[in-house]
Structure 1
């Protein structure tokens, strides 16, 4: 990346089904020899952080050859030979490891003829501290002793760090794993333990049943001082939770959710669970949130181990969602797998969609699809940028694969799947999913295989619709107007973009002309009678005739479409006056969300937006308030001095009545969402509203909680953040101590994250220094720095720290977390600081997240432009 223009250049359009399996791609393996079965034995040494292994891989030689090429990296190869079924043994003349392409090339002393052979390999490796491959994780037990776990994380391309293999998703095979471990240690893998024997050196060889045919990235093995719950029988599947010793009291909820999801998905998919057992495993150090290894799903502790009585509703919902997401993968991803990494979006998007369906079925009162509005907004925010990408795009290298794990893969992908499901109807859509899974089980697919199956089930042009959403970036704004003297509703589409992003040169004018096949669901009110219609908007516009004068029209009914809506002024006014009574919470959410996007697009002023949300004073829904408060926080960053004080007064006037309606503490019959809303309003009043009375109340509530008084978890979590925003050095020290001694993973993260909010440069320097020490786990440190970057007054200190410690950060933190940490640069609104951000990334790369980094930088430009455009006129409007 040589200059700013290159950073923000839109990606090239993706050609559907374009293959990356060519001789010119050094990251793809030849298909002359392919694996059928791995008999793998591993001996981890937890004290020395090393392991040895041997593997007999049954292979099919498809074309006569004397060269075998497979994947390996960071391994020492000690012995190799190839043996035929007739006893013929071929020896290597050359064994070469290429660290750049992560390939192991074996040149044999004779030609291997087509047929079945056994490749014998002995190798050694290191249990690394990078949280990928076969790696080392630690925790401190109840006696204060450090305990070590050896565990795995192979997605996308890191199985090759644990054993030589054909590490590509379409090269599926059966895995037979044996782990040789010290007595007394737990040993887990993908399938059930079938034999345990003592070895001559006093260790125990634990052998596991053969797996189904599956991809290398789904293999898992874990060894260490873990405890395991008694198995729960779920329609014949033993379900357990494995956890670091001493945390068994936090496992009950995961078992409840896991059992529900196994049954829910087996019914939805129409196929029994494909494994022979299911372990949910809590890992102290984990780079991802969780990983769908067949039968042995691994999680961050905070996303599996939970005390339901001590967490907020979002914390509990997040645990539920993540368990549901990973179990959805047992079928969609594990049983049927994408052919290559360009299709990973489908695995993750569909699992995200299914997590919402399952969680909604598990706890309908949580209104999951309303909550999903926040996630969809995050995807829309990125997808509005020039530097967005198609959901599916060519993946060449391991870095490309790693960069696929972003908001467009998960949240945009899930949103467009939901849009299709609601347009077709839930039952028809499910029939297509069942058809797809039954047809392709144990094999690999392309994205279009799914669309074809749903198209067969529905009779609708599914592939044509979905290709327009998957193979091109961005999304439309649907403009709504009345024509023909009110006899026709005209819907018109154009690409949506933030101010300045879509104008100027020919390239950007071409982007403006992008069109989608938009499945529009709209509600029309005539004489207070509502009708719902479905329209496919494929060209520039489509007309919907109406027989009488309408009261109002709502486009994007129930907020299931992945597009924004812009109404003609009179239609918007008619809708706004009826919002409180005629619209559902997610539809009201959409009005606020689209309005804030209009501010960023310079189609509405900040003052107009503030007036609009002022009309929501009677709002009662959690998600709507969360969207309003998020925008108020952004407005707060635009101004200082007297105008900021006036804004704070407006915030207090808007939020206090809503909080007063809820009362100071939960009622016995109150919903979980109302409990959380109380915490959200309380926190916003104490931070954005700078309400000193709320600050005093927060300190009193937290003190009561520390004394053992039963204080609602939502108020406890909110109080922590309120105190941090105005906290003293003594309160900082208290938070550090409580972070270190927290009794649950959720409380540990609450106190750790809040440290980044203290508004004192010396305290911020302490937080920054902590982030690159063992005081903060490397899985958590990048997110602590991301929050520090977002500190309104001290964020620049965090940015200059990251610049100064760039090499240390990249060596220390998991590679997938670097670009996530950098999301905080979006808030560097001061032009002089923003310019240093751009200058830094002209000479520093994040190869595993270059597309996401470009989006962060462009979003920073949008925010800087917003401040330049709005700060003065917004300040004038307030004073």
Structure 2
């Protein structure tokens, strides 16, 4: 048995096809008992069956394997659980015959308070504290509820039955109820069999709930369950869910696979929400919206959360990652689709400008030397939780949007629909998605995108003009200012003088030079000139790289190009997202000592920049400047916020006072940086430049 310990994945001796799971939860004693009948295919000669189980008391005497073609029942000579690996090893005296059979196991467990596996959550009803039973199986905790092959690739169907449920409680699972039998004050609830799915998507909820209900245009029943008396607070999420199911059905060209969708507000949930197939669980604050008392911003939070989880019904549930290395396929796509849905449902929110929150968070984390690639090799179940981070979610979503922008929205959508149809009810790897996009677009995808998913970090693209040649150079960006050796195949988008003049190309080398006239059909003028003139003498006044910030990289412009962009900002020729992108890149480059602070503050002096940050409430400059640390060569930790009030009298007074009272401002004054606001922004640039160089 020792040979099975410490392995990243289960051996392939046996393949599960169907589970018949019976569970009897005791909400008073906070424990449960159960049995599972697993239809198996034995596919290789073996004396062992190895599956997952953790924190379960297995009744060894109940374990048996009956071969479908024989009358013989095989009993294991040993049954041992290895808790560190979450596996149950069954050893038999003789070889098990190849072919189909049924494995039977009885077990007991605890309704734990760890918010994983089969656990208990608490709520109040009529002033009395009560327990509910809830499951949270992602990533590897179905094994805490019943013995199973707890890996995404081991898909099977599931027949769930709950025994001993108090008759007044609501009992939910992935599928609709098939039969309900009353026995006094208890009931037995049986559910329809699920389609093929992974174990981490199996779900059960038992508690006291109210609900609101609606239907999609193609007849799918949608309900939102919440605590008694809060049903009205589920109406907004219900509306979003119905519309999102319809949108995803159209976008992916594949109907929602189940006859119903339940969404349940849970008081205690380890994640913000969980995409269980047909039974999505949410923290209450993420799902419920009170028209009388909730802040307007909560509508966006509910919309994004609901759309994210429902996108998973296709990307993750219908088509499932083959292994946790490909987690980003689930989370990156669901994050991207959540914004796609929100923009469709509420265009007035201008949600893609707010998507820059996701981009900025991904760039910040991935600019650290301690970051990791989107795809991470997982060698043990204990490592999986570590990849549920901003790299999988936020960088993943941004890389998807970058690819969509490069290939085009229509081509991208058609290719995704083809991918979903091909891999429905199965598993996929990252390269399967690249193959579908490559086939649908006719463009190279696999090699360029591997450079984004298989190495950490991202590049800064330096751009300059020389003799009407546009020169591009890429280096790895680290927020520390260190030099990295990464290289990417970068989907470059750029506009010249107008968003009507837009070009795309792949930057495949460290450096590349393009003839501006040949590539863009125009020449670059000096900063302050009047844009594109006429067809015979086309002259563009500015060049913006990474149009609308759809790419996951930063851009550094030479002085002449930067001046032209400042002029375009002043003339309101750039979009809000591009204005922010220029600002964010300039800030990051200054903080990493790749450009002077004088360049940053010259940019910030344009009132048109400052006046148009209203769509980025989380990213307003004073807010971020208070939080981003600078470390000097002497190791002194400071923040830009400590001298920011010296240059921005409009800084909110509460923040200004907290900044200027900090002791570090005396050090700055000693370097010629005044500690209180004074007039004349340009006059202060030389002092600041000298200060920034000394840091």
TM over 0.5: yes
Asked if 1:271 is matched to 2:254, the reply is yes
How has the CA–CA distance of structure 1 residues 868 and 187 changed in structure 2, closer, same or farther, with 3 Å as cutoff?
farther
Q: Is the 8 A contact 1:517 1:537 kept in 2?
A: yes
Distance in 2 of aligned mates of 1:390 and 1:396: 15
1:565 aligned residue: 555
The one-character-per-residue Cα deviations of 1:304-357 (angstroms, maximum 9, x if unpaired) are: 011245333432211101100110110111011111110111111011111111
Q: Is the 8 A contact 2:212 2:238 kept in 1?
A: no
1:861 aligned residue: none
Distance in 2 of aligned mates of 1:451 and 1:373: 25
Task: Point out 4+ residue stretches in structure 1 off by more than 6 angstroms.
Answer: 635-641, 643-646, 867-872
What secondary structure sits across from 1:166 in the alignment?
Answer: coil
How has the CA–CA distance of structure 1 residues 193 and 873 changed in structure 2, closer, same or farther, with 3 Å as cutoff?
farther
2:567 aligned residue: 577
- For residue 688 of structure 1, the aligned residue among 643, 655, 669 is 655
What secondary structure sits across from 1:480 in the alignment?
Answer: strand
How has the CA–CA distance of structure 1 residues 145 and 516 changed in structure 2, closer, same or farther, with 3 Å as cutoff?
same
Q: Is the 8 A contact 2:435 2:445 kept in 1?
A: yes
How has the CA–CA distance of structure 1 residues 75 and 197 changed in structure 2, closer, same or farther, with 3 Å as cutoff?
same
How has the CA–CA distance of structure 1 residues 155 and 246 changed in structure 2, closer, same or farther, with 3 Å as cutoff?
same
What pairs up with 1:254-333 in 2 under 5 angstroms? 254-333=237-316
What pairs up with 1:409-808 in 2 under 5 angstroms? 409-484=392-467, 487-502=468-483, 512-525=484-497, 530-547=500-517, 548-549=523-524, 550-580=540-570, 581-605=572-596, 609-616=600-607, 619-624=611-616, 626-634=619-627, 647-648=644-645, 651=648, 653-654=649-650, 685=652, 687-690=654-657
Q: Greater relative contact order (Cα 8 A, min sep 6): structure 1 or 2?
A: 1
Distance in 1 of aligned mates of 2:628 and 2:203: 47
How much has 1:449 moved relative to structure 2?
0.3
Q: Is the 8 A contact 1:636 1:644 kept in 2?
A: no
What secondary structure sits across from 2:388 in the alignment?
Answer: coil
What pairs up with 1:38-437 in 2 under 5 angstroms? 38-78=19-59, 79-85=62-68, 86-141=70-125, 143-180=126-163, 181-199=165-183, 202-437=185-420
1:664 aligned residue: none
The one-character-per-residue Cα deviations of 1:688-722 (angstroms, maximum 9, x if unpaired) are: 2459xxxxxxxxxxxxxxxxxxxxxxxxxxxxxxx
How has the CA–CA distance of structure 1 residues 394 and 647 changed in structure 2, closer, same or farther, with 3 Å as cutoff?
closer
More helix by share: 1
Q: Is the 8 A contact 1:51 1:127 kept in 2?
A: yes
What secondary structure sits across from 2:259 in the alignment?
Answer: coil
User: Which deviates more from structure 2 when the two are superposed, residues 349-358 or residues 313-322?
Assistant: 313-322
User: Which deviates more from structure 2 when the two are superposed, residues 598-607 or residues 114-123?
Assistant: 598-607
Distance in 2 of aligned mates of 1:875 and 1:253: 52
Distance in 1 of aligned mates of 2:33 and 2:328: 35
Q: Is the 8 A contact 1:524 1:531 kept in 2?
A: yes
RMSD, aligned CA: 2.8
Q: Is the 8 A contact 2:646 2:675 kept in 1?
A: no
How much has 1:214 moved relative to structure 2?
0.4
Could you list the runs of 5+ residues in structure 1 that have no partner in the other structure?
1-21, 503-511, 656-684, 692-724, 726-791, 794-828, 831-866
What secondary structure sits across from 1:265 in the alignment?
Answer: helix
What secondary structure sits across from 2:420 in the alignment?
Answer: helix
1:7 aligned residue: none
Distance in 2 of aligned mates of 1:289 and 1:447: 25
Q: Is the 8 A contact 1:38 1:56 kept in 2?
A: yes
The one-character-per-residue Cα deviations of 1:668-696 (angstroms, maximum 9, x if unpaired) are: xxxxxxxxxxxxxxxxx3642459xxxxx
How much has 1:634 moved relative to structure 2?
3.0
What secondary structure sits across from 1:354 in the alignment?
Answer: helix
What secondary structure sits across from 1:578 in the alignment?
Answer: helix
Distance in 1 of aligned mates of 2:115 and 2:124: 18
Q: Is the 8 A contact 1:391 1:471 kept in 2?
A: yes
How much has 1:637 moved relative to structure 2?
9.5
How has the CA–CA distance of structure 1 residues 230 and 167 changed in structure 2, closer, same or farther, with 3 Å as cutoff?
same
The one-character-per-residue Cα deviations of 1:536-584 (angstroms, maximum 9, x if unpaired) are: 1110222232232331111111110110000001110110121141110
Distance in 1 of aligned mates of 2:622 and 2:290: 28
Distance in 1 of aligned mates of 2:265 and 2:85: 32
Q: Is the 8 A contact 1:308 1:316 kept in 2?
A: no
Could you list the runs of 5+ residues in structure 2 that have no partner in the other structure?
518-522, 525-539, 678-695
Q: Is the 8 A contact 1:589 1:623 kept in 2?
A: no
What secondary structure sits across from 1:230 in the alignment?
Answer: strand
Distance in 2 of aligned mates of 1:302 and 1:87: 55
How much has 1:275 moved relative to structure 2?
1.3
Distance in 2 of aligned mates of 1:529 and 1:351: 29
Distance in 2 of aligned mates of 1:536 and 1:403: 32
Q: Is the 8 A contact 2:643 2:675 kept in 1?
A: no
Aligned length: 642
The one-character-per-residue Cα deviations of 1:713-755 (angstroms, maximum 9, x if unpaired) are: xxxxxxxxxxxx9xxxxxxxxxxxxxxxxxxxxxxxxxxxxxx
1:669 aligned residue: none
Distance in 2 of aligned mates of 1:207 and 1:598: 60
Distance in 2 of aligned mates of 1:529 and 1:393: 38
Q: Is the 8 A contact 2:85 2:381 kept in 1?
A: no
Q: Is the 8 A contact 2:266 2:281 kept in 1?
A: yes
How has the CA–CA distance of structure 1 residues 99 and 432 changed in structure 2, closer, same or farther, with 3 Å as cutoff?
same
How much has 1:193 moved relative to structure 2?
0.7
User: Which deviates more from structure 2 when the two are superposed, residues 622-631 or residues 549-558?
Assistant: 622-631
Distance in 1 of aligned mates of 2:90 and 2:637: 66
1:28 aligned residue: 9
Q: Is the 8 A contact 1:606 1:635 kept in 2?
A: no
Q: Is the 8 A contact 1:36 1:58 kept in 2?
A: yes
1:815 aligned residue: none
